[in-house]
Amino acid sequence: MKTLFPQLAHRPRAAYAATAILAIALAVLPLIVGLAGNAWVRMLDFALLYVMLALGLNIVVGYAGLLDLGYVAFYAVGAYMYALLASPHLMENFEWIAQLFPDGLHSSIWMVVPLGAALAATFGVLLGAPTLRLRGDYLAIVTLGFGEIIRIFLNNLNAPLNITNGPQGISNIDPVRIAGVNFARPIEIAGFELQSVQLYYYLFLILAIGVIVVSIRLQDSRIGRAWVAIREDETAAKAMGINTRNVKLLAFAMGASFGGISGAMFSAFQGFVSPESFVLMESIVIVAMVVLGGMGNVPGVILGAVLLYAIPETLRFIAKPIQEAIFGTEVVAPEALRMLLFGLAMVVIMLYRPAGLWPAAVHGRALVPADQSGSGDAHATRPGGGETR
């Protein structure tokens, strides 16, 4: 509770009440939105997937300060892993797999989530290992290349062995099944019908909460401090005895694992994956979510993810009617408008809120030390006058 509402830390009852209200709001949200149509609930589901992705990237970019422009690769790794393990694709192409699994290849979510996390983490280390000496722009270029390599592999691994089915992608992917409940079909609970998209919403919400808890706990830990120390000054971090190689690889692995989980969920939710979903633009959008929201600050990153996902989606619904109302015809396509607004948002944020919409709170930035008045001794100089570098 304390970490959820830091400003209510000294009022535990208020913090509990706020948490309860938030929990109820999140639980009721898909039911209310569902009244407007399943398409809107579907957007909520995707927003949650993006929250997970942005929080994963936040570990790499926000905490450890390693600019990663190929993050969508881990999303792709998770998505394709689930697609291969829970669709007829492999069985149709490989005789021996069909013989091995006469009932068809189906994988339980309990296995897929940890496996997706582990596989993506492995890829994270694979990307991290050769880039340990790189920083900033150079790292961004290499990671960008890595993201493209993964996508191009997925696009071309249909010959000589058809593993990924190339640009056609993999279809007929199993939906999530938990305790016999098939998430692809509506279920009835006490006379009330829950749609498939609503079921997925609750699943994604639970996973997202898990990712949030992990993010917050890591932030205030020995490892989290080591990440931030590396971001702030790698040489000094090394001199403090931090094994920067291992700690950086850990950041890549942790960040990637979140991407792997949400990729697997994306795959199950859509029932279809193709390389087209994992283009460079996706990576850039996820970086934008982290940067615009507030690097390193969990609530900020969540806000960034939701806003940057919701605004273009909303635009898709309202851009045409608005333009028709004003100009009588559609002047700019929603897709072009989206890029225009993205660019505009970037410029405005960088000019007016360079630390993001909701930057990490600095504890005590406004504090005045209790005994400030008696600054007789030499070292009691006032903080803030410290620009004497």
Partner 1 sequence: MTAATSSQCVDDGTPLSHPSAMLLVNGVNKRFGGLQALSDVGMDIRRGEIYGLIGPNGAGKTTFFNVITGLYTPDSGSFVLDGQPYEPTAVHTVAQAGIARTFQNIRLFGEMTALENVMVGRHVRTRSGVWGAVLKTRAERNEEAGIRQRSLELLDYVGIGRYANFQARTLSYGDQRRLEIARALATDPKLLALDEPAAGMNATEKLSLRSLLEHIRDDGKTILLIEHDVKLVMGLCNRVTVLDYGRQIAQGEPAKVQRDPAVIEAYLGASHD
**Nearest approach, Cβ of residue 290 and partner 1 (Å):** 16
What is the smallest separation between the CB atom of 369 and partner 1, expressed in angstroms?
Answer: 4
Among the listed ranges 77-85, 92-100, 209-217, 264-272, the one in contact with partner 1 (CB under 8 A) is: 209-217
Please name which of 57, 188, 223 lies closest in space to residue 196, comparing C-alpha atoms: 188
Q: Which of 7, 108, 168, 221 binds partner 1 (CB under 8 A)?
A: 221
Tell me: does residue 376 bind partner 1 (CB under 8 A). Answer: no
Rank residues 28 and 206 by Cβ distance to partner 1 and give the closer one.
206
Output the smallest distance, CB 236 to partner 1, in A: 4
E strand segments, 186-327: 187-189, 192-194
Contact in structure between 178 and 109 (CB atoms under 8 Å): yes
240 binds partner 1 (CB under 8 A): yes
- Tokens coding 14: 């208020």
User: What phi, psi does 192 have (nearest 5°)?
Assistant: -110, 130
* Binding residues for partner 1 restricted to 105-144, rule: CB under 8 A: none
Residue 187 backbone phi and psi in degrees, to 5: -120, 160
Minimum CB separation from partner 1 for residue 64, in Å? 13
Smallest distance from the beta carbon of 216 to partner 1, in angstroms?
Answer: 10
d(CA 271, CA 169): 11
Given the rule CB under 8 A, which of 29-37, 270-278, 336-344, 358-366 is the region that contacts partner 1? 358-366
For partner 1, the closer CB: 47 or 254: 254
362 binds partner 1, rule: CB under 8 A: yes
CA distance 349 to 341: 12
- Asked if 364 touches partner 1 (CB under 8 A), the answer is yes
Contact 320, 330 (CB under 8 A): yes
Q: Is 79 within 8 Å of 261 (Cβ atoms)? A: no
Tokens at residue 289, please? 């979510």
Contact set for partner 1, span 242-271 (CB under 8 A) = 242-244, 250, 254
The CB-of-222 to partner 1 minimum distance in angstroms stands at 5
Pick the stretch among 1-9, 67-75, 150-158, 359-367 that binds partner 1 (CB under 8 A).
359-367
Closest CA to 51 of 275, 217, 204, 276: 204
Nearest approach, Cβ of residue 334 and partner 1 (Å): 38
Q: Interacting stretch for partner 1, rule CB under 8 A, among 82-90, 198-206, 219-227, 318-326?
A: 219-227
**What's the min distance (Å) between Cβ of 189 and partner 1?**
32
- Determine how β-strand 177-178 pairs with β-strand 192-194: unpaired
Omega prior to 160 cis, within 30 of 0: yes
- Identity of the residue, 199 or 250, whose beta carbon is nearer to partner 1 in the bound complex: 250
115-139 b/e (C-beta count within 10 Å ≥ 16 → b): bbbebbbebbeebbeebeeeeeeeb
SS3 232: helix
Phi, psi (5° rounding) for residue 178?
A: -125, 125
Query: Which residues lie near partner 1 (CB under 8 A)?
Result: 213-214, 217-218, 220-226, 228-229, 231-233, 235-244, 250, 254, 362-365, 367, 369-371, 377-379, 381-386, 388-389
